[in-house]
Amino acid sequence: MNSRPAGRRKKGATSFTPAALSLALCAFASYCYAVRPDPLAAFTVWPTWLWTSAGLLLAAMGGRRTPRRAALWLLAAWIGYTAAFTEEARSLLREPAGPKPPGAIRVVSVNCAGGNAAVAAEAMALSPDIVLLQESPSLAQLRRVAAAAGPGWSVAAGPEGSILAHGTMKRVGPPSGAFTHARVNLSGGVWLDVISLRLSTPAFRADLWSPDCWRSYAANRARQREELREAAGHLARYGAGGPAIVGGDFNAPQGDGAFTAMPTGFRDAFRESGRGWGDTILNDCPVLRIDQAWVSQGLSVHAVWARRTANSDHRMVVCDLTEAVTTRR
C-alpha cells in the first residue's frame, strides 16, 4: 500500500530538481554580479543574460510537473535578476541618440585590431573632437589619418593607447605601457585631461570545471585593477584637476570588479546615458561592453552608443558630452 505514495514522492522530488537548481543558480548569479568577488571573476566575465537563459532552460526541464505557483515565483526571480543586472534591458528602452548637440564634445573610442589605420579613419568620419585608439597604428600612420581629416588635428601616440584631438595637445607625465595621457585644448577653448588605455587581456577560457580557470580570471582582474590604479595615480599626479576622460579597451565587462580602482568621481558614460545595444565585442555579435568611456565631474553625458565597424573586431564607442567646465591657461 505504501509503494505508490513512495513512488509519487520520488517522482515529485525528481520533478522539483530542475526548478531547485534554477533557483540556486539565480541566487548564486545575483550574489556574483552584486558583489563581483575576484575569486568568481570567471563567472561574471560572461554576459548576465547568459545565466538567465540557462536558468529558464533548467526550469523548463521540470515541465508541467513543477507546481504553477513555484514556476511563477521562479519566473519572477529571474525577471528580478535580469532587471537588476542586465544593462541591455535598460539601455534598449532609451530613445536612440540624435544628432550631435551644438557645442557638444564628441569622443570616439575604438580598438584598431592590431594597428589597422582604416579603423582610425572610420572613427574620424564621425566628426569627433577627440579620438581614443587602442592597438594603435604607428605615429606616421596616425599623422596621415589626421592630415586627411583636415587642419587643426594633434596626435599623441602610444604603444597601446593613442589620442587624436581637434585642437592642441600635450603629452603629460612619463610614458606607460598600458595608457597614454595628454592634456587637450579643444578649438572651443575647453581644456581636458584625456587618457586612452588598453588593459591586460584575459586568456579566454570556458572550462569552469577547472580550478585553474578560476585562478586565471582572478589573477587577470588583479592585474587590470593595478593598471587602473596606475592610470588613476598618473591622473592625480599630472592632471590639471579639471574635467577628464578615461576611455578605451578595458578588456573587462561592464560593472566588473576591476573598476573599483577608477578615480573617485568618475562615471561610466554608457551606464549614465547609453542608448541601444551598447556591447562592443565581438563586432559581428557583440555580447560584452569592454570598450568604454568614463568621465569626471564637470562633464555631462548627453548620449553614448556603440557603432559597428568595417575593419575591426570591436565596435566603436561614440560619446557626446555637454556642459564642459571651460578653463584656460
Q: Is the pLDDT of residue 147 over 70?
A: yes
The proportion of the chain whose per-residue pLDDT surpasses 70, expressed as a percent, equals 93
Angle formed by the axes of helices 3-35 and 68-85, to 10°?
A: 10
Q: What length does the chain have?
A: 329
Distances (CA, A) of 216 to 15, 26, 122, 202: 37, 24, 35, 8
Give the distance from CA 166 to its chain's centroid: 25
87, 289 Cβ separation under 8 angstroms: yes
pLDDT band at 15 (very low <50, low <70, confident <90, very high): low
The pLDDT of 82-102, averaged and rounded, is 90
How far apart CA 225 and CA 36 sit, in angstroms, is: 13
106, 324 Cβ separation under 8 angstroms: no
Give the model's pLDDT for residue 327.
Answer: 45
Whether the bond into 208 is cis, omega within 30 of 0: no
Give the model's pLDDT for residue 274.
Answer: 96
**Weakest mean pLDDT among 40-44, 203-207, 254-258:** 203-207
Number of H helices, E strands in the chain: 9, 11
73, 55 Cβ separation under 8 angstroms: no
Give the model's pLDDT for residue 7.
Answer: 47
Give the model's pLDDT for residue 176.
Answer: 85
108, 318 Cβ separation under 8 angstroms: yes
Task: State whether the Cα torsion 328-303-90-134 is positive or negative.
Answer: negative
**pLDDT tens-digit map of 158-212:** 988 999 999 999 999 888 889 999 999 997 677 899 999 999 999 889 999 999 9
Higher confidence at residue 106 or residue 68? Answer: 106
The pLDDT of 218-234, averaged and rounded, is 96
- The owner of cell 605601457 is 177
pTM of the model: 0.91
The pLDDT of 308-314, averaged and rounded, is 97
pLDDT band at 326 (very low <50, low <70, confident <90, very high): very low
Higher confidence at residue 270 or residue 69? Answer: 270
Give the distance from CA 38 to its chain's centroid: 17
SS3 244: strand
88, 277 Cβ separation under 8 angstroms: yes
